[in-house]
Amino acid sequence: MSRAIPASSIADKPSSASQLESDELVRYSRHIGLSEVGESGQRRLKQSSVLIVGAGGLGSPAALYLAAAGVGRIGIVDFDNVDLSNLQRQVLHDTAAVGSPKTQSARARLEAINPFVRVESIEAELTASNALEIIGAYDIVVDGTDNFKTRYLTNDACVLLGRPNVYGSVLRFEGQASVFGTPDGPCYRCLFREPPPPGLVPNCAEAGVLGVLPGLIGTIQATEAIKSILGIGDTLAGRLLLVDALRMNFRTIRLRRDPDCPACGTRELKELIDYDEFCGTSPSRDGTRSSSVREIAPRELSDRLRRGDVIDLIDVREPYEWRIARIEGARLIPLGRIGASAPEIARDRDVVLYCHHGARSQAAGEALVAQGFDRIWNLSGGIDRWSEEVDPSVPTY
């Protein structure tokens, strides 16, 4: 399954890039001593380029190890700033970098680790209009994204361009990794043809993640990228690695290319599409998605509360989140207890549910509607949007 980067893609690079200076011979001596790597493998690493999509939990360890390993050119695409809540797992960034662009902080750290590496920071969101150009400039992609929209976009662009796509994802205590987009291997769409309905699968901000887990998976991604460059061993192409950190179980399952996959099977997907539309994340679809739970905007709720309307305001987040921030007048019933707590919820008044961003409260609302409640509302955008639009004194996290 493993396959080195085609020599043609590196043949026209300047000859200086193919020589190792004496400092590099020392720096990489533990690689060079491996017969599977040697000086020629190390030169190959130096001549190669990897794009890391997302300088977050997965991208951090991947970038650190790829830089240390001497990958000649590392691109980092990200449009976020470092947030205090990132530091529990995003080890590229430090406390002093909070508030500054992740690409900037990543670049400084990687250059400090290895001055022989060229770090290219691309402070932008990867979109359907720039993905082919950005990804096309690199040999391999490490997908460190945390959302379905960018994951499908990255997958499709890699398949169209014929670039290996080293995939990883994490949630709570579990992670996955694979290598997609190899000449005869499967792609992400072979595994997940359609994205899940918006809000059904929580993200790490909603559901949490053990900080060290993206460290494990991102390091596995770096391993697979390095093996792919060197053409050694068996990569995860055609296999999905599943990691359960709580039980510390690692297992792999076979993956096959789906002949009906629109990206790598039938190849009917000839260009990038509208991924907001595909994943149901566009604002227009969010507002009209079929749900029996009506949405209420933060301002509208605030107006109603000020008018003295009798509303049962229920927070469905976890107790630790309640301790960080809450909306005055609310009571806490975590999502997991909402079904059992239904008898305590009034049926003769409006009930407004909220969570962090609106996904869990929507699920809670649907559970109550299924039990016959007909006056259930979901606070659109959750407490986060409430803080932004109504009450900035409510901390965000």
Whether 300 and 380 have beta carbons less than 8 Å apart is answered as no
Using the rule CB under 5 A, give the single segment among 19-27, 85-93, 233-241, 254-262 that binds Zn ion: 254-262
For 224-257, b/e burial (b = at least 16 CB within 10 A) is bbbbbbbeeeebbbbbbbebebeeeeeeeeebeb
Nearer to Zn ion, 187 or 213 (CB): 187
Smallest gap from Cβ 260 to Zn ion, in A, equals: 9
Smallest gap from Cβ 155 to Zn ion, in A, equals: 8
- Listed residue (241, 133, 231, 130) closest to 182, CA to CA: 231
Dihedral of the alpha carbons of 183, 185, 191, 195, in degrees to the nearest 10: -10
Smallest gap from Cβ 274 to Zn ion, in A, equals: 19
Geometric angle at alpha carbon 104, from 114 and 18, rounded to 5°: 35
Tokens linked to 218: 């991102």
CA gap 389, 380 in Å, rounded? 11
Q: Is 255 in the site for Zn ion (CB under 5 A)?
A: no
Q: Is 263 in the site for Zn ion (CB under 5 A)?
A: yes
Smallest gap from Cβ 227 to Zn ion, in A, equals: 21
Nearer to Zn ion, 186 or 382 (CB): 186
Nearer to Zn ion, 190 or 226 (CB): 190
Nearer to Zn ion, 87 or 269 (CB): 269
Biggest alpha carbon–alpha carbon distance for the chain: 79
Judged by CB under 5 A, the chain residues 141 through 200 that form the site for Zn ion are 187, 189-190
264 belongs to the catalytic site:
no
Nearer to Zn ion, 269 or 324 (CB): 269
Which residue lies nearest Zn ion, judged by its C-beta?
261
355 belongs to the catalytic site:
yes
Query: Which contiguous run of DSSP H or E holds residue 190?
Result: helix 188-191
Q: Which of 204, 261, 264, 279 is catalytic?
A: 204
Smallest gap from Cβ 19 to Zn ion, in A, equals: 39
| Ramachandran angles phi, psi of 53, nearest 5° | -90, 105
Q: Is 264 in the site for Zn ion (CB under 5 A)?
A: yes
Binding residues for Zn ion (CB under 5 A):
187, 189-190, 261, 263-264
Q: Kindly list the catalytic residues.
A: 204, 355
